[in-house]
Amino acid sequence: MIIDENARYMESHEWARPGDGVYFIGVTDYAQSTLSDVVYVELPEIGDRIEKDEQFGVIESVKAAADIFSPLSGEVVAINERLEDEPELVNASPFEDGWLIQIKPTQLEDEWDTLLSPLEYKEVVEAEEASH
């Protein structure tokens, strides 16, 4: 299982990572493997304002639909348009090509430190795997 050392995490398996003056947001390798083959990704529109912990999209496999929650508050400045035709990118490359949205954070200083570190997230996943 891959964990990106430069990202911060939520217990609901989303990640956020700085890059190019914005923040990329996606779902983790563990999330994509639990969902299995992703067939559809529903994303917000550019310009939408989202709050931390707010649901901003849905990822669907054949038999399941998972709500996606935002690790940070901010304005959506880009969405990953490739996912419309290639939702499988979320499976193949959850931290790189399979990113979901980019946002310009509005409360980064308050919010960033409330997110899980890579090590803390690893523990969350291990605990979850043990319970199954």
Partner 1 sequence: MTEPLIYELSVPGREGVKPPQLDVPPAELPAELLRDDLPLPEVSEIDTVRHFVRLSQLNYAIDKGMYPLGSCTMKYNPKVNEVAARMPGFLGAHPLQNPETVQGALYLMYHLQEALKTITGFAGVTLQPAAGAHGELTGVLIMRKYHLDRGDTKRDIILVPDSAHGTNPATTSMSGLNVVEIPSDERGNVDIEALKTQVCDRVVGIMITNPNTLGLFEEQIEEVTQLIHGCGGLVYGDGANLNALVGVMRPADVGIDVMHFNLHKTFSTPHGGGGPGSGPVGVAEHLVEFLPGPIATLVGATDEGYPVFDLHKPEKSIGRLKAFWGHFGVLVRAYTYIRMLGDAGLRGVAEHAVLNANYLLSRVRDVYPLPYDRICKHEFVVEGKFENAPGIRALDIAKRLIDYGVHPPTNYFPLIVHEALMIEPTETESKRSLDAYAEILLKIAAEAQAEPELLHGAPHNSPVRRLDEVTAARNPVLRYEHEF
Partner 2 sequence: MVYVPHTDDERRAMLASIGVDRIEDLFSDIPQEHRYPELGLPPAASELEILQELRDLAAANLNAYEVPTFLGAGAYRHWAPSVVDYIISRGEFATAYTPYQPEISQGTLQAIFEYQSMICDLTGMEVSNASHYDGATAAAEAVIQALNVFRMKRRKVVIAPTVHPQYREVVRTYTQGMGLEIVGDDDLTRSLEEVVALVDKETACLILQSPNFFGEIELLEGLGGLVHEMGNGALLAVATNPISLGLLNPPGAFDVDIVMGEGQPLGLGLNFGGPYLGFYACRKKHLRQIAGRLVGEAHDVEGQRGYALTLTTREQHIRRERATSNICTNQGLMMLAATVYLSVLGKQGLRKIAELNYHKAHYAAQEIDTLDTFSVVNTKPFFNEFVVRCPAPVEEINDFLLSDYPIEIIGGYDLGRDYPHLQNHMLVAVTEMNSREEIDDFVSALAEDEAHEVIGGHTHD
Q: Of partner 1, partner 2, none, which one does residue 124 interact with (CB within 5 to 8 Å by kind)? A: none
- Output the smallest distance, CB 5 to partner 2, in A: 33
Q: Of partner 1, partner 2, none, which one does residue 64 interact with (CB within 5 to 8 Å by kind)? A: partner 2
**Position among 62, 65, 119, 127 found at the interface with partner 1 (CB under 8 A):** 62
By beta-carbon proximity to partner 1, the closer residue of 83 and 103 is 83
How many CA atoms does the CB half-sphere of 25 hold within 13 Å? 31
Are 11 and 27 a contacting pair, CB within 8 Å? no
Are 107 and 27 a contacting pair, CB within 8 Å? no
First to last CA, the chain: 17
**Position among 63, 109, 130, 131 found at the interface with partner 1 (CB under 8 A):** 63
Distance, C-alpha 38 to centroid of its chain: 14
Q: How many whole angstroms separate alpha carbon 25 and alpha carbon 101?
A: 5
> Under the rule (CB under 8 A), what is the footprint of partner 2?
40, 42, 60-65
Binding site for partner 1 (CB under 8 A): 37, 39-40, 60-63, 87-88, 132
